[in-house]
Amino acid sequence: MNNIVITSDSTCDLSPELRERYNVQILPLGVTLGDKTYFDGVDITPDDIYAHHDKTGELPKTTAANLSDCIDFFKQFTDEGKAIIHFTISSEMSSTYNNCRMAAEEFENVYVIDTKNLSTGGGLLVVAAAEMAAKGMDARTVAEEVTKLVPCVDASFVIDNLEYLHKGGRCSAVAMLGANLLKLKPCIEVKNGSMGVGKKYRGRFADVLKTYVNERVGNGDGIDLDRVFVTHAGCDPEIVDAVVKQVKEAAPFKEVFLTRAGCTISSHCGADTLGVLFIRENPIA
């Protein structure tokens, strides 16, 4: 492990405690509000984004890490003789992966993994790689083994309000109106690197989440029970606590990690969004 550094862009949404526990180094992506650009998790928080939106009605623009940023980020570790295993948000959602891939060509022993996911869907892979490295695997082997897990990640979120998706161009006005009138809560699923709408639930957000957890987790059959993430974008603490309790009771996970989505994810979904993310034992069809 001493010669390997695990890195990720900021969309992995690992908490500060988990980043410290697994010694994960973060490359922050950009967030532009008005005419000023910030760095995700460095000088801006999701609550800053929500406050700006409430005041102006504007959503931020998120920006990929450019080639120069990626080179500078990798160089600080390669100069120390480290091998790097770096994780990025899905290449279908951002040019970050491609920029990191090109930057890696400037160095030896830099392996860039396209998570084909976002948020703690990628975070699951980051943690898995850190544990592999801690067992003494070399960097190339870790990169190969963790890549095999990419199609096994089960990532989904339920969204209470479609306003952010609509303003971001990901939901038509008609669809938003219909969903709001019918109190529909769509489940956004990540498949093959892209986001799509899965089941549409109806009812109160807290009630919908109970059904969602039952359907996604079940009794844990076919799921890697080492860990599961409950990740939210600023939900009511009582709702979050209820989901964590339900997940713990549903299946014998060794660890249940509670994390809050960072700026990049929150910019697209809004505050009342919650997902349960885990790795399945076999690739998802």
State the average pLDDT over residues 182-204.
87
pLDDT class for 282, splitting at 50, 70, 90? very high
Q: Give the residue from 82, 80, 101 showing the smallest Cα distance to 9.
A: 101
Q: Which residue has the higher pLDDT, 195 or 170?
A: 195
Q: So what's the pLDDT on residue 174?
A: 42
Tell me the two tokens of residue 68: 């120069």
Q: Give the residue from 152, 155, 167, 192 showing the smallest Cα distance to 275.
A: 155
Q: Give the residue from 227, 230, 231 showing the smallest Cα distance to 255.
A: 227
CATH of 4-150, one of 2.60.40.10, 3.90.550.10, 3.40.50.10170, 3.30.2130.10: 3.40.50.10170
Query: What are the tens digits of pLDDT across the range 66-83?
Result: 999 999 999 999 999 999
Q: So what's the pLDDT on residue 269?
A: 85
Evaluated on CA atoms 255, 259, 261, 263, the torsion sign reads: negative
| Contact between 103 and 66 (Cβ < 8 Å) | no
Q: Give the residue from 206, 258, 249 showing the smallest Cα distance to 228.
A: 258
Rounded to an integer, what distance in angstroms lies between the CA atom of residue 165 and that of residue 15? 24
Architecture of the domain whose range is 153-279 = 2-Layer Sandwich (3.30)
Q: Which residue has the higher pLDDT, 222 or 172?
A: 222
Half-sphere exposure of residue 191: CA atoms within 13 angstroms, side-chain side: 8
Tell me the two tokens of residue 209: 């989440």
64-99 burial by CB neighbour count: b if 16+ within 10 A, else e? bbebebbbebbeebbeeebbbbbbbbbbebbebbbb
pTM of the entire predicted model: 0.94
Q: So what's the pLDDT on residue 233?
A: 96
Query: What are the tens digits of pLDDT across the range 256-278?
Result: 999 999 998 898 888 899 999 99
Ranges assigned E (strand) in 71-218: 83-88, 110-114, 153-154, 156-159, 184-191, 194-202
Least confident stretch, 63-67, 187-191, 195-199: 195-199
Query: What are the tens digits of pLDDT across the range 177-189?
Result: 455 545 788 898 9
Domain residues of the chain, as ranges? Answer: 4-150, 153-279
Q: So what's the pLDDT on residue 173?
A: 46
Number of continuous H segments (helices) and E segments (strands) in the chain: 11, 14
3-state SS, residue 264:
helix
Q: So what's the pLDDT on residue 264?
A: 84
Where does residue 11 fall: left (phi above 0), alpha (psi -120 to 50 degrees), or beta otherwise?
A: alpha
Q: So what's the pLDDT on residue 195?
A: 85
3-state SS, residue 120:
helix
At how many degrees (to 10) do helices 96-104 and 67-78 cross? 50
Rounded to an integer, what distance in angstroms lies between the CA atom of residue 127 and that of residue 134? 11
Least confident stretch, 13-17, 119-123, 174-178: 174-178
